[in-house]
Amino acid sequence: MAYLGDFTLGDTLDFRFTTVGTTGAPTTLAGTPVVSAYVGNSTTQITAGITLSVDFDGVTGLHNVRVVASGANGYAAQTNVDLVITTGTVGGTSVVGYVVGSFSIENRSTQAIKAKTDNLPAAPAATGDIPTAVQNADALLGRNVSGGSSTGRTVKQALHVLRNKSAVAAGTLTVYDTDDATSSWTATVSSDAAADPITGIDPA
Across the strands, what pairs with 94? 89
Question: Per-residue pLDDT for 184 more than 90?
Answer: yes
Q: If you average pLDDT over every residue of the chain, what do you get? A: 90
**Average pLDDT estimate for 167-191:** 91
Question: Per-residue pLDDT for 172 more than 80?
Answer: yes
CB 135: neighbour CB atoms within 10 A? 10
Look at the domain 3-110 and name its fold: Immunoglobulin-like (2.60.40)
Residue among 24, 47, 28 at smallest CA distance from 37? 47
Would you state the pLDDT for residue 114? 65
What is the Cα–Cα distance from 63 to 47, expressed in whole angstroms?
16
pTM over 0.75: no
Contact between residue 46 and residue 38 where contact means Cβ atoms under 8 Å apart: yes
**Average pLDDT estimate for 3-15:** 95
Question: Residue 139: which region, alpha, beta or left (left: phi > 0; alpha: psi -120 to 50)?
Answer: alpha
In this prediction, residue 98 has a pLDDT band, given cuts at 50, 70 and 90, of: very high
Q: Running DSSP on this structure, what letter comes out for residue 58?
A: G
Q: Where are the domains of the chain?
A: 3-110, 132-201
Question: Per-residue pLDDT for 108 more than 90?
Answer: no
Question: Per-residue pLDDT for 115 more than 80?
Answer: no
Q: Computed over its alpha carbons, how large is the radius of gyration of the chain?
A: 38
